[in-house]
Structure 1
Amino acid sequence: MPKPYPKEFRDDVVNVALRREPGQTIKQIAADYGIAESCLRNWMRQADVEDGTKPGTTAAENTELREARQRIRLLEQENEVLRRAAAYLSQANLPGKGSTRS
């Protein structure tokens, strides 16, 4: 996978595309900067979401959601370990089942 373009570069290209002169196409701007037209369109769409002009999730929301999912996964794993430990310990305390005490 190619290395992503720096944020400053993306922001500059999007600003040029948004303030383009009449008759200048997105395709021409993308070619001038050496990127794919679809890439520029995606950047412009994401810029609209970040500005709040179009619905969608912002980069900050995506980061927060990713961190929350990781935390949930960790808590679920911890819960499973504790559940298994509790089940094991409850079996070990039953008289006649693995206990050496009478």
Structure 2
Amino acid sequence: MESRGKKKPRPRRSFTPEFKAEIVELCRRGDRSVGQVAKDFDLTETAVRDWVRQAEVDAGERDGLTSSEREELAQLRRENRRLREDVEILKRAFFACGTQHLPRCRSARMRRQSALHGATQAPSGGSDVLGQPGGRRPP
């Protein structure tokens, strides 16, 4: 049984930049409307209008992202997505392995907290966190 009124979606097609430029030129000449050009070349009117709009942006006739800017933005978004996935993988690996294998490092906040709670404090007189005068490590 065949359903009425429902068309199968057309498979996605790709077109060369040269072909798009020819279609845009036909539309700009004014001989035929965008709809007529689309019909003559078996294209969707929306696609042709998008190509014309993008050509106007690339030529500086209209505001928007140029083709090269769109390409760069897409590439940066792909790279950003990949880096976020890498970070997520590293986080999972870090928590799966545990922290027992990592070297201990004490942040400045932890040193301040331990100093406030009675741990050994550096002698007064301009010494640094390590207790060495002038902030130098011993030779």
TM bucket normalised to smaller: 0.5 to 0.7
Distance 2:80 2:88 in 1: 12
* Deviations 1:20-52, CA, capped at 9 Å, x for gaps: 24xx43323333333233322121111111212
Show the 5 A alignment for 1:63-82: 63-82=71-90
Q: Which amino acid aligns with 1:42?
A: D
Judged with a 3 Å threshold, the aligned counterparts in structure 2 of structure 1 residues 28 and 78 are, in CA distance, closer, same or farther, namely closer
Quote the residue 2:14 is aligned against: 4
Distance 1:8 1:17 in 2: 14
Higher helix share: 1
Quote the residue 2:25 is aligned against: 15
* Structure 1: 5+ residue stretches without partners: 94-102
| Identical columns (%) | 31
TM-score between the two structures when normalised by the length of structure 2: 0.52
SS state of the match for residue 15, structure 2?
A: coil
Could you list the runs of 4 or more consecutive aligned residues of structure 1 that deviate by over 6 angstroms after TM superposition?
Answer: none
Bigger relative contact order, structure 1 or 2, given CA contacts below 8 A and separation 6+?
1
SS state of the match for residue 52, structure 1?
A: coil
Quote the residue 1:90 is aligned against: 99
Bigger radius of gyration: 2
* Structure 2: 5+ residue stretches without partners: 1-10, 103-139
